[in-house]
Structure 1
Amino acid sequence: MSRATITRSALALAVLLTATACAGPGDDEQATVVVTTNILGDITENIVGDQAQVSVLMAPNSDPHSFGISAQQAAAMERAGLLVYNGLGLEEGVLRNVEAAAEAGVATVEVGAAVDPIDYTSDESEGQPDPHFWTDPARVAEAVDLIADQVIDNVPGVDESTIRDNADRYRGEVEDLDATMADRFAEIPEQHRRLVTNHHVFGYLAERYDFEVIGAVIPSGTTLASPSASDLESLANTIGEAGVPAIFADSSQSDRLAQVLAEQAGIDVAVVSLYSESLSAEGGGAASYLEMMRANSDSIADGLLGQD
């Protein structure tokens, strides 16, 4: 082979590698499904399986209201084949990136808005949509079908029958979870089904399983708000009058305010940690949506039955 031939071959290879590295929307890069929160990420991964790459933006043990992303992750959002996000105001730190991806032509699905959302009914967020739909497995089962449809419609190269099979299998596991949670909560007498949480995060669970939410340490649907001294005093009085045995704090947040509230209540109140808004790392007790919800069900039941 002549030196000129070798040179032309090397040049052609360099051009090919450059073109591959710079592939944009419409190329192989578009086979990626980008998901904002790790809870939705786990659900989506179960649906997609090995049919496409799923990239989850939110790290384990993070707060969905405040987590941020890198410039590289923001760029990946704008090259995705599909962007799956919770919506209803949950991902406050990445909303502008979601909007930028949509403006760039990326197919997006706001899952929370499509599963019959409810509104907050008290405190600072009253009347606003509640984004925490995943605490109700029945709504998650609806979300499974929604995400499967969006993947099939928008991600090139996936096999529809495989996606449908994955979705059917996983939806069955979510429905089993729903039955397990109902059985566990049935152990709690009706007069003890009263919840006090770190912030307003369990409205859907309360509606599904017949609980009453009597208050939150942070009287808002977001962890970015702050309670006043009068807020804490009022809730402490409510807890004392209702005889609530436990306050439930989120594992991704400091429980300092919950501990202060427990002291102010003047009664023996346990502060119980829940994985309410984020999955844990592997081995942390809530590495998947199913594991998280089973752990929370046990913690809520034990806490309200005074076993914690």
Structure 2
Amino acid sequence: MVAALTRRALVSLPLLAVASACTASGSDRSGIVVTTNILGDLVRNVVGDQTEVTVLMEAGADPHSFGVSAQQAASLEQAALLVHNGLGLEEGVLSHVEAAVAAGVPDLAVGELVDPIDYTSDESAGQPDPHFWTDPVRVGEAVDIIAEQVVEHVPGIDADEVRASAEAYRAQVDQVHATTAEQFGRIPAEHRKLVTNHHVFGYLAQRYDFEVIGAVIPSGTTLASPSSSDLKSLADAVAASGVPVVFADSSQPERLIEAMAEETGLDIAIIPLFTESLSEPGQGAGTYLEMAASNAEAIAEALAPQ
């Protein structure tokens, strides 16, 4: 383990040296670079058109696996502020984020500042859960945090305007929370059980009193894969729960869930949700507000008595 870390450090040193040599000084940096499109939407609602906001992750991409071009990587080190999720989410761009921070770019790891929770089951147990955006209350907190960091680090910003925009946008997020709570209030306690394609709804479950039965991929990352025993164990849990509904990310193939259905012999409904990425405009989750409202409606319709 030590040897591996040493090799990583030796490899990283030349990269950091090159980065430091060509990185802009603090006075030359401008704009905001955001890793994920969900955070990008929050940032854009906070800053409006006061500064350029560059979002690295395209609509529909997987935050665990998306990568960046050399040009995008360079843009991180030119930013006045780098906004990222943290908590291990952006696995494909982590090294670039670390290089930018090492070069002196101010960064905001949003997920680390909104009272993160740990995974509680399967192979990710005890590790921090990065999927805080499934809880609108934490998203509201994130909006305020983003606003203050923008005011502190981004030159040329009108602080009063940023804070007013954040307050107005947070009111919309709070309304989504209120509507979600009302919709979920119609779901009986015995039906508040979630099975997903991977562990992504821990924060939602905590906020709205759901039980997470399990996930087809028993991990917090889509880069993991289930074994046949994983599928059998989850199938048994679904059969015992009496709620044969599986929620799958709208961008993920359904073959794993279909395989689990074969294990149970049950007629399992597969309900698509937008879990880790916004969609293109007009496709159901073009903004965070649309994404959160769409998911809440889909879950309520699937689990509430008809």
The alignment's TM-score, normalised by the length of structure 1, stands at 0.90
Residue 139 of structure 2: aligned partner: 140
**In the alignment, what sits opposite 1:292?**
291
In the alignment, what sits opposite 1:258?
257
Query: What amino acid does structure 1 have at the position aligned with 2:118?
Result: D
Residue type of the alignment partner of 2:51? A
Aligned residues: 285
Structure 1 residues 195-230: Cα deviation after superposition (integer angstroms, max 9, x where no partner): 000111000000000000011000000000010000
Displacement of 1:303: 1.6
Within 5 Å, give how 1:163-202 maps onto structure 2. 163-202=162-201
What is the aligned partner in structure 1 of residue 42 from structure 2?
43
Partner AA of 1:101 in structure 2: A
3-state SS, counterpart of residue 155 of structure 2: coil
- 1:286 and 1:36 map into 2 onto residues whose CA distance is 18
CA contact (8 A) 2:176 2:293 kept: yes
SS at 1:50 equivalent: coil
Matched, 1:242 2:241: yes
Give yes or no for the alignment of 1:231 onto 2:230: yes
- Give the deviation of 1:306 after TM superposition: 6.9
In the TM superposition, residue 27 of structure 1 has moved relative to its aligned partner by: 5.4
When residues 117 and 149 of structure 1 are mapped into structure 2, their CA distance, relative to the original with a 3 A threshold, is: same
| Alpha-carbon distance between aligned partners in 2 of 1:262 and 1:171, rounded to the nearest angstrom | 40
- What is the deviation of 1:253? 1.6
Shift, 1:252, TM fit: 2.2
Find the aligned partners of 2:23 and 2:256 in 1 and give their Cα distance. 49
Residues in 1 aligned to 2:267 and 2:25: alpha-carbon distance in whole angstroms: 58
Corresponding residue SS for 2:157? coil
Kindly provide the CA deviation profile for residues 91-142 of structure 1, in whole angstroms up to 9, marking residues without a partner as x.
0000000000001110001000000000001100000000000000110111
Give 1:245 shift.
2.8
Amino acid aligned to 1:138:
V
Q: Distance in 2 between matches of 1:25 and 1:180?
A: 46
Structure 2: unaligned runs, 5 residues or longer: 1-21
SS of residue matched to 1:179: helix
* TM-superposed deviation, 1:273: 0.7
- Once the two structures are superposed, residues 271-290 of structure 1 have per-residue CA deviations (whole angstroms, 9 ceiling, x without a partner) of 11100100000111100000
Indicate the SS of the match to 2:253: coil
The runs of 4+ residues in structure 1 deviating greater than 4 Å are none
1:70 maps onto 2:75 in alignment = no
Q: Could you tell me how far apart the structure 1 residues matched to 2:240 and 2:96 are? A: 45
Identity of aligned residues (%): 62
Contact 2:23 2:103 in 1 (8 A): no
Identify the residue that residue 93 of structure 1 maps to in structure 2: 92
Q: How far apart in 2 are the matches of 1:183 and 1:262?
A: 31
Is 1:247–1:258's contact at 8 Å kept on the other side of the alignment?
yes
After superposition, the CA RMSD in angstroms is 1.4
Aligned to 2:14: none
- State how far apart, in whole Å, the 2-side matches of 1:245 and 1:258 are: 11
CA deviation vs aligned residue, 1:150-203 (integer Å, no higher than 9, x gap): 100000000000000000000111111100100011111110000000111000
- Which letter maps to 1:248? F
The offset of 1:268, in angstroms, is 1.6
Q: For 1:131 and 1:234, locate their aligned partners in 2 and report how far apart those are by CA, in whole Å.
A: 25
Question: Which SS does the other structure have where 1:31 is aligned?
Answer: coil
Return the offset for 1:243. Answer: 1.4
Shift of 1:55: 0.4
1:79 Cα shift? 0.5
**CA–CA distance in structure 2, aligned partners of residues 26 and 220 of structure 1:** 39
- Larger Rg belongs to: 1
CA deviation after TM superposition for structure 1 residue 305, in Å:
3.2
Deviation at residue 263 of structure 1 after TM alignment: 2.6
Task: Give secondary structure in 1 for the equivalent of 2:123.
Answer: helix
Pair 306,253 (structure 1): closer, same or farther in 2 beyond 3 Å: farther
- Contact 1:262/1:270 (8 A) holds in 2: no
Structure 1 spans left out of the alignment, 5+ residues: 1-21
What's the counterpart of residue 110 of structure 1?
109
Partner secondary structure for residue 205 of structure 2: helix
